[in-house]
Structure 1
Amino acid sequence: MKHKITYYILNIVTVITVTMFFSCKDNFRDVQKLGISENEPIGVAENINLKYTDSGRVKAVLLSTKMLDYSNRDFPFNEFVNGVTLDLFDENNEKSVIVADYAIVYNKTNLIDMKGHVKISTKDNDTLFAEQLYYDRNKEWLFTNKPVSFKRGLDLIYGNGFDSNSNFTNAEVLEVNGTITVDE
């Protein structure tokens, strides 16, 4: 009888030990995240000068005084709370400049969302003013569905949206509200 009780206790201990062993999981990522709130940036950088190149040619340069890095999120992004200056270069290395009060760069989609007093100055002295503008780095495309004013030559065009490639060869104001021709 004593031998049977020892046998049962040994089996129960073995079952509990095996159960505990298989119930453990790899939680190394959870341990790494301890002390880091998902609502807080994982890093802060100052005086950013980010160059985007393709085949050895600089296509864009993003400048900012402060960047917050949220790469610890499921959908990672970088936030530029003090504004940005984005220089876009065409095939002839001619520059167009975009300035905004605030921007977010979404890493997975390569989309830059610029907000607050967005201004584009092209190499041909065309100027766009908008409250929000998106730049798709993959397609090299600028667009918005917010109100804009676009000065091209002597024309000042108002509308609700803008669509253009990055070198502005086919810039288009959408839903035009009016055009004013300014005599100089």
Structure 2
Amino acid sequence: MPTVNLKNSKVLMAMLMVIGTFFMTCKNDMEVVQELGEEDTAPFQTVYDGHYTFTDSGRIRNVLLAGKLEQFIQDSDYTRVSAGLTLEIYDRAERVAGLLSADSGLYFEATNVMEAQGNVIFTNPSGDSLFTEQLIWLSDSNLIQTDKEVQIIRDGTEIRGKGMRANEDFSRYSILAPVGDITLPEDLTNDGSEEDQ
């Protein structure tokens, strides 16, 4: 039968305590590392007061002025603009076809979709203006849309509603749920009866 030496058991006990402490320390460090990984939402790149010109086949497509631009490369590449943005949208002849300003915005590279948020104003060269809190620009299909409240001013007339779809130069649009009073021209209100004359 083996004999237990008291001196050997003290050494063994000390070794077990050191090993136990080592594993407890590793566990805590792994938890910290895991928490840091979960909080890894820092942008890949940050630019202040940026001025960007986007081209396609050598032609200017858009010009962006951004107060603060942050690029992220986590699960999907996207760009966040804050501290104000102004976006000039150009047509094929490189003329300004639209001007968009907003408090902030997001651009999703994979889908080529931009979302402007907060005090969004969109104007076209004809002077027509759109005011809303959110506007989504589907660049590949040249469409802009929102499901939020909209106010449109065209030729001095104000139109309000909820939800809107338009082409990117805002020359054609439809309001999904218009509200308010609409004044019709006199020739459309006259039913042709003798009493009106």
Q: Taking structure 1 as the reference length, what is the TM-score of the superposition?
A: 0.73
- The question of 1:76 aligning with 2:77 is answered yes
- Indicate the residue corresponding to 1:106 in structure 2: 108
- Indicate the residue corresponding to 1:163 in structure 2: 165
- Pair 124,53 (structure 1): closer, same or farther in 2 beyond 3 Å: same
Unaligned stretches of 5+ residues in structure 2: 1-35, 184-197
Q: Cα RMSD between the aligned structures?
A: 2.0
- Indicate the residue corresponding to 1:30 in structure 2: none
- Indicate the residue corresponding to 2:179 in structure 1: 177
Runs (4 or more) in structure 1 with deviation over 4 Å come to 34-37
**Structure 1 contact 53–60 (Cα < 8 Å) conserved:** yes
Query: In the TM superposition, what are the counterparts of 1:139-158 in structure 2 within 5 Å?
Result: 139-158=141-160
- Pair 36,53 (structure 1): closer, same or farther in 2 beyond 3 Å: farther
Q: Taking structure 2 as the reference length, what is the TM-score of the superposition?
A: 0.68
Q: Distance in 2 between matches of 1:175 and 1:121?
A: 21
- Indicate the residue corresponding to 1:87 in structure 2: 88
Q: Alignment partner of 1:168: what SS?
A: coil
Bigger Cα displacement from structure 2, 167-176 vs 157-166: 167-176
How far residue 35 of structure 1 moved from its aligned partner, in angstroms, is 7.8
For residues 5-58 of structure 1, what are the alpha-carbon distances to aligned partners after superposition, in whole Å with 9 as ceiling and x for unaligned?
xxxxxxxxxxxxxxxxxxxxxxxxxxxxx9895221122112222222222211
- Pair 174,67 (structure 1): closer, same or farther in 2 beyond 3 Å: same
Q: Alignment partner of 1:83: what SS?
A: strand
AA at the equivalent of 1:132 = Q
* Structure whose residues are more often helix by fraction: 2
- Indicate the residue corresponding to 2:139 in structure 1: 137
**Structure 1 contact 85–99 (Cα < 8 Å) conserved:** yes
Q: Alignment partner of 1:138: what SS?
A: helix
Count of aligned pairs between the two proteins: 147
**Structure 1 contact 70–78 (Cα < 8 Å) conserved:** yes
Q: Distance in 2 between matches of 1:35 and 1:160?
A: 41
**Structure 1 contact 155–180 (Cα < 8 Å) conserved:** no
Q: Distance in 1 between matches of 2:152 and 2:177?
A: 13
How far residue 130 of structure 1 moved from its aligned partner, in angstroms, is 0.2
How far residue 180 of structure 1 moved from its aligned partner, in angstroms, is 5.5
